[in-house]
A and B are shown apart, each in its own frame.
Chain A
Amino acid sequence: MTLDVRAPEHPRVERLEQVWEARPGLLGWLTTVDHKRIGLLYFFTTLAFFAAGGLEALLVRTQLARPNAHVLPPDVFNELFTTHGVTMIFLFVIPMTIGAFGNYLVPLMIGARDMAFPRMNALSYWLFLASGIFIYVGLFMGFGPDAGWFDYVPLALKHFSPGPNVDFYALGLILNGISSTIAAINFIVTIFKLRAPGMSLNRMPLFCFAMLAVSLALIFALPALTIDAVFLELSRKLSFQFFVPGHGGDPLLWQHLFWLFAHPEVYIIVLPAFGIATSIIPTFAKRRMIAFPLVALAELLVAFIGFGVWAHHMFATGLPTITLVFFAAATLMVVIPSTIQVFAWTLTVTAGRPEFRAPLLFIGGFIVFFVIGGLSGIMFAAIPFDQATTDTYFVVAHFHFIIFGAAVFPILGGMYYWFPKVTGRMYHEGLAKLSFWVSFVGTSLTFFPMHIVGLIGMPRRVYTYPSGLGFDSYNLIETIGAYVLAVGLVMVAANLLWSRFRGPFVGPDPFFGGTLEWTIPSPPPHYNFAVIPTVSSAYPNWDEQDRAVDARKLELGELTYESGHETPTSSVRDGALDEVAEMPSESPWPIVLALCAAVALTMVLLSHYAIAGIFVGLALLALAGWHTEEPEPVA
């Protein structure tokens, strides 16, 4: 299967293998609490949703390729572009960066054996899967969400959307939000408490800073969406009047709450990608990241300032001028920490001895697209310009450059970069570079013309357009670009799939990375680290002395914690060793609880409130059962 490059079986290592052995078979996967398995579950599930969202995009683009086309009926078109947005944001990008990359890598990068709350980790995955299935069942039944990914009222209220489409949207997002909240709590506690001894906060990898910023942002942003969705469902199901002007409500309430969540959300989308970029750059530039503390601070600041800019999505709604000016100013401010990071990345590459292998190429593409997308973004801070271009394709161009360029490109680069760690094999470098160029060209062809066609007046979310307005050729190029991009992405997938089974075996550290995940075998053993590493810098894998000391500790049994299912905890600021935590092994409660929650919300969808209540009760019983599984006291 995979080349065993582990140390010869030391009795302590054997004991660790025994204690941390995974339950076999399907049941093992359904009850897993291992962060690596959960990361893989997230990875494959999000890839499937990426393909679905991509297919939706291709269908949308095919419909728009020619004027007055009728490839799809208009109501299906509405479902497709809405579900495309919902899928890509809630079912692909966030779960991929946080659930897949975050879950798999954070414990490895901080020298821990798992996340702080392994069962909660599993719960967040099953809830996420349930939310995706929930929304797609709606789509396949012909009731896909169809009011746009931001689902404005009054369109989303019962009067204009009588079918269950919007209910699938709102309830699906509530489920998804619970999943993300739980994941965020887990990351915050893990990052604060489970770092290896000596890993003070200023020695923590920048990827972990990004995860911390993202998790804090999720904690404070998700409630706004959750309550908005709750208000919407109460309005739709029980005729509550939050959004109806005649009864004291206000349609703008939906927008305020939505964007209070959704603006931080876009930083949540992009911050982990920054984290991936700051992991890849030092490795391939072969030097430390320039201005490390500034970059760490910038990551946290982007998340923080991002909470103060939400109404820049509402410049065309008739808010008072003083309000608009405040938000325009805040929007200009938020650019600053992002720019600091761009300078740091670029300077690190130019000041190093860069080796442009595929991961670094994708990061190069990311920087190009992020700068272009960022420039079009700042343009929106000019209120008159925003009011002229709102709801045109100029906006679509901006956010796709950011989301595709600045979130997806790092994800693709990260897939290549960590592929050897997860599989123990190397991807095909030539094909990888080609896949980059095809994707780069495809992305540019698809999204750049949207700037132009938006400026000459093409609105977004239109089902078709008349000929003779100057839109035709741009739309055709965009559609061709979309297909080229699809080819590039298929090349990435093919490369990884083929290499998984036929790629050459590699050792634990093929790229000479600086962070701890490169110190352990590939693929990592279940217990991650035989010896919990001692850390004295931000690039522990480049500290040969420390690593030699760790090897000697295996003999002495120091920091090996092999007597039980254990990992050490440490203090928040300095990473000084604290107490030893006993970790849970496989448990059925997470999937059971997720199932009860999903059924309960389905019953709400169907307006069977009493049955929904019963399932909430069952979920609470599952939660109680969960807490009867106690750790054995640590000797």
Chain B
Amino acid sequence: MAVFVATEATLFGTIFGTYFYLRFHTTNWPPRGLPEPALTAPLILTAVLVATSIPMQLASLAAQAGRAAATRALLALALVVQATYFGIQIHLFLDDLDKFSPSGSAYGSIYFTMLGAHHAHVAFGVLIVLFLVLRLGRGLTRYRTVGVQSAAFYWHFVNVLALCVAATQVYAAL
């Protein structure tokens, strides 16, 4: 999982790189006429998402200690928060699409691609946790313990990404 995260992190590295490359090739950022990113809702949501690293890590530790019920409960808690986050973010994403378009400017293109890539990784993470919650219904095995540990690591990575994405949004609003 660590190596997989390394490659996905690099993928986001290139996305952030592109973001700043385009930014420094443009005078006005966002371009005139386009709204600056909203900050309040996204920042609160990001904070909530990052907080799910706590139950994920606790679930990982519980799994390694062999406590199946605790693991399942912690994962379920994380899942609910992560899924809600995802739902709200999709709503905000669609809202943004009404305000400006990815095909109107490079700013729009990188904005929606960056957010889209992040949400895709969140969605995948939600599905992984859901899968684990279901599988743990049949008991905790060594294989599933490794699964929980890997999922926790993946989610820490996604949460760091969320912070980076939020940071670029803050940057654009400055």
Give A contacts to B, CB under 8 Å. Answer: 181, 184-185, 188-189, 219-220, 222-224, 226-228, 230-231, 234-235, 238-242, 244, 247-250, 253, 256-257, 260, 620, 624, 627-628, 630-631, 633
Binding site for A on B (CB under 8 A): 3-4, 6-8, 10-11, 13-15, 18, 21-22, 25-26, 31, 102-110, 113, 124, 127, 131, 135, 141-144, 147
Which chain B residues lie closer than 8 Å to A247 at the CB level? 104-106
> Is A242 a contact partner of B109 (Cβ separation < 8 A)?
yes
Provide the residues of chain A in CB contact with B13, threshold 8 Å. 223
Residues of A within 8 A of B107 (CB): 248
Q: Is the interface of B mostly helix, strand, loop or mixed?
A: helix
Taking a contact as CB atoms closer than 8 A, the residue among B4, B25, B102 that contacts A185 in the complex is: B4
A351 to B15, CA, bound (A): 50
Q: Can you spell out 19 A-B residue pairs with CB atoms less than 8 angstroms apart?
A: A185-B7, A189-B3, A219-B10, A223-B13, A224-B14, A227-B18, A231-B109, A234-B109, A238-B103, A241-B105, A241-B106, A242-B106, A248-B22, A248-B106, A248-B107, A249-B106, A250-B22, A624-B131, A630-B143
Instruction: Specify which chain A residues have a CB less than 8 angstroms from the CB of B110 in the assembled complex.
Output: 242
Q: Which residues of B contact A253 (CB under 8 A)?
A: 18, 21-22
Q: How many residue pairs bridge A and B at CB < 8 Å? A: 96
Residues of B within 8 A of A220 (CB): 6-7, 10
Write the nearest CB–CB distance from B141 to chain A, whole angstroms. Answer: 6
User: With a CB–CB cut-off of 8 A, which chain B residues contact A234?
Assistant: 102, 109, 113
Q: A220-B7, A630-B143 are in contact. Are A241 and B14 (CB under 8 A)?
A: no
CB neighbours of A249 from chain B (8 A): 22, 106, 109
* Contact B18–A241 (Cβ < 8 Å): no
| A248 and B25 contacting across the interface, CB-CB below 8 Å | yes
Query: What are the residues of chain A within 8 A of B104 when measuring CB–CB?
Result: 241, 247
Given A240-B108, A242-B106, 14 further pairs, Cβ under 8 A: A184-B3, A219-B3, A219-B7, A220-B10, A223-B13, A240-B109, A242-B18, A248-B25, A248-B105, A249-B22, A250-B22, A253-B22, A627-B147, A630-B143
- B131 pairs with A627, CB closer than 8 A: yes
> What 7 A-B pairs are tightest by C-beta distance, nearest first?
A248-B106, A223-B11, A239-B103, A240-B109, A249-B106, A223-B10, A630-B143
Given contacts A223-B14, A240-B103, contact A628 B135 (CB under 8 A): yes
Q: Which residues of B contact A238 (CB under 8 A)?
A: 102-103
Report the separation of the CA atoms of residues A235 and B104 in the bound assembly, to the nearest whole angstrom: 11
State A235–B147 Cα separation when bound (angstroms): 37
Bound state CA distance, A55 and B7, in angstroms?
Answer: 35
With a CB–CB cut-off of 8 A, which chain A residues contact B127? 620
Known interface pairs A248-B105, A633-B141. Does A188 touch B3 (Cβ–Cβ under 8 Å)?
yes
**Within 8 Å CB of A235, what residues of B?**
109
Contacts of B3 in A (CB 8 A): 184-185, 188-189, 219
